[in-house]
Amino acid sequence: MKYNRCGKSGLLLPEISLGLWHNFGSVDNFENCESIAVEAFDKGITHFDLANNYGPVPGSAEENFGKILWHNFQGNLRDEIVISTKAGYTMWNGPYGDWGSRKYLLSSLDQSLKRMSIDYVDIFYSHRPDPETPIEETMMALDHAVRSGKALYVGISNYSAEQTRVAVDVLKQLGTPCLIHQAKYSMLERWVENGLLDVLEEKGVGCIAFSPLAQGLLTDKYLNGIPENSRAHNPNGHLKEDEVTAERIQKLLQLNEIAQNRNQSLAQMALAWLQKDKRITSVLIGASSVKQLCNNIDCLQNTEFSNDELNAIEQILL
């Protein structure tokens, strides 16, 4: 595992980080969750990414991760891992359990620390911008989280390029630099290339990509249509059936052909493709099993692309 410097900070993050958005909730098998996390650490993944509402039920991923920490990462091992969490999406009912107010963010952080039974997180994020709350208030809450000792660093997620520029400048004025931006980025979701990555490079802020496999689209699962047990088939999933079009499947088949010529799976190539841009500090993967985790990590065996490969991929993605 290679470790990249996060922006202009002193913090190094692994090329691949583990996200606990799915498969770590109260509805999931705890022994499987624990096996995935332990294997990830043994493979060099030192960064574990959570949010207050990850589950289901909301909060249960943090609770399970707290148990995993207690069982496997006692003593100095806590100092060998980076734990991040976020607040910004709906966590509890009423006027104080959503968005970006100081009240919500700091209350949520306290709850997250309690669920995980830890004294601090390494990174605390504003999970999304709040159109009704001044960005200065949200950034002041992040600044306070660091000054209170409950977070070592802060970051933002899902902010546009212009919102990011403002947020980073406010945090700098407060004396707490913005460490990292967590952005949705994949072969099929490339909005960050239209300004955000330039702002992050200019400001010295790291970037970690989430949903790098486009909710499973960039795997071999959908090459022959929508299988019964897939996220797209689930009406409550984040991937909708109407996103799996015949045109898109044709693109996936062409991408898969390039991947096979590289001796990679489509998923492995999609993960490696993100790492070609040195502004990407880390790529955030999920996993439902140890086998899937290891298969994804194997993308690191081939992260170099020829110009012909890159050009062919661009033509497919047009």
Q: Describe the crossing of helices 246-261 and 266-274 by its angle, rounded to 10 degrees.
A: 80
Task: Please tell me the predicted confidence (pLDDT) of residue 243.
Answer: 72
| 187 has a pLDDT exceeding 60 | yes
| 233 has a pLDDT exceeding 50 | no
For range 41-49, the mean pLDDT = 98
Q: Hey, where are the domains in the chain?
A: 3-215+267-303
Q: What CATH code would you report for 3-215+267-303?
A: 3.20.20.100
Q: What percent of the chain has pLDDT over 70?
A: 94
Q: Which residues of 243-261 are buried (b: 16+ CB within 10 A; e: fewer)?
A: ebeeeebebbeebbebbee
Q: With the C-alpha atoms ordered 42, 47, 53, 54, is the resulting torsion angle positive or negative?
A: negative
For range 288-308, the mean pLDDT = 97
Mean pLDDT (the chain, rounded): 94
Q: What percent of the chain has pLDDT over 90?
A: 90
> pLDDT grade, residue 253 (50/70/90)?
very high
| 169 has a pLDDT exceeding 70 | yes
Q: Cβ distance 154 to 171 under 8 Å?
A: yes
| 81 has a pLDDT exceeding 70 | yes
For range 153-180, the mean pLDDT = 98
DSSP letters spanning the chain: --EEE-TTSS-EEESEEEE-SSS-STTS-HHHHHHHHHHHHHTT--EEE--TT-TTTTTHHHHHHHHHHHHH--GGGGGG-EEEEEE-S--SSSTTSSTT-HHHHHHHHHHHHHHHT-S-EEEEEE-S--TTS-HHHHHHHHHHHHHTTSEEEEEEES--HHHHHHHHHHHHHHT--EEEEEEE-BTTB-GGGTTHHHHHHHHT-EEEEE-TTGGGTTSGGGTTS--TTSTTTSTTSSS-GGGS-HHHHHHHHHHHHHHHHTT--HHHHHHHHHTTSTT--EEEE--SSHHHHHHHHGGGG-----HHHHHHHHHHH-
Task: Please tell me the predicted confidence (pLDDT) of residue 242.
Answer: 64
Task: Please tell me the predicted confidence (pLDDT) of residue 128.
Answer: 98
| 234 has a pLDDT exceeding 80 | no
> pLDDT grade, residue 188 (50/70/90)?
very high
Count of residues making up the chain: 318
Query: Whole-angstrom Cα distance, residue 203 to residue 168?
Result: 8
Of 224 and 276, the structure prediction assigns the larger pLDDT to: 276
Lowest mean pLDDT among 171-185, 213-227, 266-280: 213-227
> pLDDT grade, residue 224 (50/70/90)?
confident
Residue keyed to tokens 């799915």: 22
For range 94-111, the mean pLDDT = 98
pTM (two decimals): 0.94
| 277 has a pLDDT exceeding 60 | yes
Q: Cβ distance 130 to 99 under 8 Å?
A: yes
- Phi and psi at 137, nearest 5°, equal -65, -45
Task: Please tell me the predicted confidence (pLDDT) of residue 231.
Answer: 56
